[in-house]
Amino acid sequence: MSQVCVRFAPSPSGFLHVGNVRTALFNYLFARNQGGRFLLRIEDTDEETSTPENERVILETLNWLGLEWDGDMARQSGHQERHLAEANRLLAEGHAYRCRCTPDELELKRHAAEAAGRSRKYDGTCREKNYPDDGTPFCVRLKSPREGETSFHDLIKGDISVHNAEVDDIIIVRTNKSPVYNFAVVVDDHDMEITHVIRGDGHLTNTIPQIVLYRALGYAVPEFAHLPLVLAPDRKPLAKRRGAKAVLEYKREGYLPDAVVNYMARLGWGYGDQEYFTRQELIEKFSLEGVQAAPAAFDPKKFDWLAGEHIRACDNEKLFRYFSEYLLEFTSYSVNESLFSHLPDWRNYLIESVKERARTLSEMLDKCRFCLVEEVEIEEKAGKRFLTEAIREPIRDVLNFVASSAGEPTEQEWMDCLTAIMEKYQLKMKDLVQPIRVALTGTTVSPPIDRVLILLGKERVRRRLEAAMAGIR
């Protein structure tokens, strides 16, 4: 059974952009497609960055996107004794050695190598010294082979081979007895029975030393797949300093999680010409063979288009739930059921009225905030332009219609009323509808006027039209 592990090392700022999280998504999709397990491990050995807040950002991001992991979350820091035990085994078996070179000495060696045009890798001063553990400070280095080549087949990039003479004797345990990342992940992945390591291009240089470690430790080597970079629209690597947003910022802006997942999946992966995918379709159709080797650029316009497609495709009941939760978490608005007591099936009607051209929950709010409150404040510019003396009598006729209606008018009855008034006063549709829209919503942009009237109900329509009339000078 395929088993993958998404690793998150908390960043100093807790910032997770699309490029970071896409790796988790591809691991998730691969595991689900293969019927395997998707595991989560927090690489928390750096005490400065591994704060509760930074860990919270990771978990909240994964939970919001619905990337549910199997079993308990693991923490690298909890395995330190195991890491050190394996390092001691490598020492005992001659696959590692104690290095007493000080940081100052190592820096001088690197400068000298650079000046001579040589590689900056460690020169092997302590490689054959067989230093004992006698209290002298030391780090532990991997004793990489000097002859032959180390090769592997990358499931995205193809065959990769490196001459062992070019492979560094990397440090696996620091002088302070803390395991180094490149070593710890090998031990952890083995213990967690990871079959596939799917990660970003930036880790490609780590792979050869890690394969040397797998073999030195007698572990089975997993399959590797290195994902292409995600680029900003200007074709430079996506990063915080170049306008990348934290993924949770998309939540704050009101994007649906399925839209974000869909777009992230399309960054470097494809299935024919298909752009829109449901979650289930992504799971069913995802494969590493469909991942391109070239970098993919973030396209805000395509992202917004997909976001709108997901809004329109979303079941109204589910979308209403998303909308209500968004209002509660990020705005001062809420959906007060008492304001819609006049309207049967009002939840469905509200969502249908605002989802058509919206791309986000925020845009849905912009279209319907007028009906979430008792009263509205009319924009000054819109009021001066549309609420003039010329519209007083037509609005009075609308109020007369409201007064004469025994129950709630239907959409057709509202439109018949407006049509009759237009004919009576020889008005064009916009000349009547736009002033009414401003009076009822406070602005010039809203859903179609018949839907505005239905959502507000005749009593709120009456109050707002009367208020608008009183403001005409």
The whole-angstrom separation of Cα 420 and Cα 414 is 10
Torsion sign over Cα 229, 235, 240, 244: negative
The whole-angstrom separation of Cα 367 and Cα 331 is 15
Residues with catalytic function: 240
Q: Assign 3-class secondary structure to 6-27.
A: EEECCCCCCCCEHHHHHHHHHH
> What are the DSSP calls for 404-463, one per residue?
H-SSPPPHHHHHHHHHHHHHHHT--HHHHHHHHHHHHHSSS--S-HHHHHHHHHHHHHHH
CA atoms within 13 A on the CB side of 185: 24
- Please give the DSSP secondary-structure letter assigned to residue 291: B
Q: How large is the angle between the packed helices 411-425 and 449-471, nearest 10 degrees?
A: 50
C-alpha to C-alpha distances, 136 to 101, 139, 175, nearest whole angstrom:
11, 10, 10
Rg (CA), the chain: 32
CB 262 within 8 A of CB 29: no
How many CB atoms are closer than 10 A to CB 297?
A: 17
Q: Which two tokens stand for residue 259?
A: 């839209």
CA angle, residues 275, 279, 282, in degrees to nearest 5: 55
- Please give the DSSP secondary-structure letter assigned to residue 340: G
CB 288 within 8 A of CB 225: yes
Q: Which two tokens stand for residue 217?
A: 């430790």
| Residue tagged 């078996």 (tokens) | 93
* Counts of helices then strands in the chain (DSSP H, E): 18, 12
